[in-house]
Amino acid sequence: MILKILLVILVIAIVYFMFIKKKPIRTTKGTKHNEQENKKLDSNDMVACTTCGIYAELDDTIISNNKYYCSTECVGKA
């Protein structure tokens, strides 16, 4: 009887540690390398147009003089 109870507890513990318990996230705070990785933009990030302030996806923007513009009209205004 005790062997059955221990077996059930063992199975519950295995299921808990394998599926339910979340692993801690490792972070390195204060390093310049980590800060530069956070500043990298993905293709679906939204950036503001320098001229009109409208947000557009990075793939749809025009980059001129290291500034983001939503259209050629805004590039012409700047």
Has residue 24 got a pLDDT over 70? no
Distance CA 17, CA 63 (A): 49
Burial of 58 (0-12, 13-18, 19+ CB in 10 A): middle
For 33-63, the pLDDT digits (tens) are 545 555 666 767 889 999 999 999 888 889 8
> pTM of the prediction?
0.47
Domains of the chain, residue spans:
2-77
Determine the residue type at 11.
V
